[in-house]
Amino acid sequence: MSKGKSIINQDSTLDVIIVGGGINGAGIAAEATNRGLRVGLFEAKDFACATSSASSKLVHGGLRYLEYGEFRLVKEALKEREILLTKAAHLIKPMRFRLPHLSHLRPKWQIKAGLFLYDHLARRCILKPSRQMKVDPADGLEKNITTAFEYSDCWIDDARLVIANLQQARLAGAEVRNYCQVIKSEYERGLWKVTIFDQQTNLKSIRYSRVLINATGPWAASFIEQYTPETSPHRMRLVKGSHLIVPKLYQGEHAYVLQNKDKRIVFVIPYLDRFSMIGTTDIPFEGDAYSATTSDEETAYLLSLTNQFFTRQLDTSDVIDNFSGVRPLFEDMAKDTSNNEQKPMSAQALSRDYDLTIQSVHNAPPLVTVFGGKLTTYRKLSVKVIKALEPFLALSPPHSEPTAPLPGSIGLQRAVLLNQVTSAHPSLAATTVARLVAQYGTAVWDVVKNAETHNEIIIADLHRFELDYLVENEWAFTADDIVRRRSKLHFDCDAQALLRLENALSIRRRSQNDLHLK
């Protein structure tokens, strides 16, 4: 061996390195381990910290996509909706959506035709069919609205769906790490050599893999250009969607779909029992997706539309919270045949679907990139990604079926579980038990195993035993990781509470470091 030349340890080489810890990356990691692959997943910040925690939190077919003729996408999404009702049973719940009818926007025949397709494009075993209904004055809608159409879709906790998939991957042997940024990817002797910077330890490390999967969402194109030897086959068009959180607008567990004269629709959705979530907007975005915030114009747009439908009038003082996410839409370049030049496609031609590309030039190890995607179809996308690796990797038959439950949904009987946890831990408030069961499902037993001895309240409804669980089992590192993405307790926390939580986390880390030094 020549001086200075290193030997790659094939035993430590991963089959797949996934960059990006949103829903697509998490789903791909779960599916890759399900096919017997050795997997590493690295996320530059926290899991689900961008688009995957800033969605409308819906598992749906996309009723409005029917207007654009995207029947295949809707059919696939409707099929996946049924699968997720079983697979993520502790995180998902059926929800009825009411579309108040305004004849000058969409005629009844058009709505009825769309809902008929929505009911029948895919097999529906659990959810109720659509119907036309009269509006009750108690619903709080304007008096001129007398008719509505009601159909079924589902609500889901998007960030916790990401965590559940990552837990599934880790249980099957995947290396899963957040706050680990991939800062360089290069070819070395038929493999990907990936340099990773761990922001928690300030250390760099190198991992090798046979395939590199780019699941960075809004950063898909820029990741290729900045951190790999390749160039992106697609341009990315970024679109920002913003949501407002306001006090609960009406009684009932149903949601509303509000039509606007610009042909957009806005959802008003019950949120965390106490609030209503209003969204989303759909505007072009430039810049770093991490910096996306809700503009005054978006707030005014959402409040104005809501006020057109509800008797209770809202203004900016009613906005308790807001959040914005950036959705990536992939853009092909259309060729101008007159002068053989390429020009960008129009916004209307951009697909709301997803696309997978594989780049492997001159026998270089393959780079797979996910462009676009929807929360609802993440599992189907993940299956397609791993299927596309067949020419490059030896895949085992799937270890589990598509409907196999994620951690937390295994053997779930929600009402029984609620009673069991209440009986086993009478010191916990009923609201605490209900929240824990809703968040963790059957994994709640791992959360509360030390509830009697570690019952100190850190902030709000967060006890020491839950904090320990989140740090040790769900990769929680900062206060925001815990209160915004893992628990949704930020509505009960002020700045001082968050500071106390950060201090508690710092003390915990110092204590662990001291133990390691000993």
CB neighbour burial string for 302-321, b if at least 16 within 10 angstroms, e if fewer: bbebbeebbeeebeeebbee
Q: Quick one: tokens of 381?
A: 């996308």
User: Where along the chain do its domains lie?
Assistant: 14-51+160-233+353-389, 414-517
* Helix, coil or strand: residue 392: coil
From 498, 502, 488, 501, select the one nearest 160 (Cα to Cα). Answer: 488
| 351-367: burial string, b at 16+ Cβ within 10 Å, e else | bbbbbbbbbeeeeebbb
Give me the phi and psi of 147, to 5 degrees please: -130, 145
Distance CA 392, CA 41 (A): 19
Give the CATH fold of the 14-51+160-233+353-389 domain. FAD/NAD(P)-binding domain (3.50.50)
The region that residue 140 occupies, defined by phi over 0 for left and psi between -120 and 50 for alpha, beta otherwise, is: left
Tell me the CA distances in angstroms from 435 to 19, 323, 324, 344, 465, one per residue in order: 32, 22, 25, 48, 14
Cα 122 from Cα 142, distance rounded (Å): 34
Single pTM value for the model: 0.94
Show Cβ contacts of residue 225 under 8 Å, excluding neighbours closer than 6 positions: 231, 232
pLDDT of residue 2: 39
Taking the C-alpha atoms of residue 375 and residue 469, their distance in angstroms, rounded to an integer, is 26
State residue 1's pLDDT score: 38
Q: What angle do CA 511, 515, 516 make, to 5 degrees?
A: 115
Distance CA 41, CA 90 (A): 24
pLDDT tens track, the chain, 518 positions = 334 444 555 568 999 999 999 999 999 999 999 999 999 999 999 999 999 999 999 999 999 888 888 899 999 999 999 999 999 999 999 999 999 999 888 899 999 999 999 999 998 888 999 999 999 988 899 999 999 999 999 999 999 999 999 999 999 999 999 999 999 999 999 999 999 999 999 999 999 999 999 999 999 999 999 999 999 998 888 999 999 999 999 999 999 999 999 889 999 999 999 999 999 999 999 999 999 999 999 999 999 999 999 999 999 999 999 999 999 886 654 333 344 444 444 333 344 578 999 999 778 999 999 999 999 999 999 999 999 999 999 999 999 999 999 999 999 999 999 999 999 999 999 999 999 999 999 999 999 999 999 999 999 999 999 999 999 999 999 999 999 999 999 999 999 999 999 999 999 888 777 655 55
CA–CA gap between residue 279 and residue 357 (Å, rounded):
31
Classified as helix, coil or strand, 370 is strand
Helices (H) and strands (E) in the chain, counts: 13, 22
Q: What is the pLDDT of residue 32?
A: 98
CB 150 within 8 A of CB 131: yes
Instruction: Kindly report each contact of residues 426-432 with a partner whose C-beta sits within 8 Å and lies 24 or more positions away, as own/partner.
Output: 427/451, 427/452, 427/455, 429/461, 431/461, 432/461, 432/463
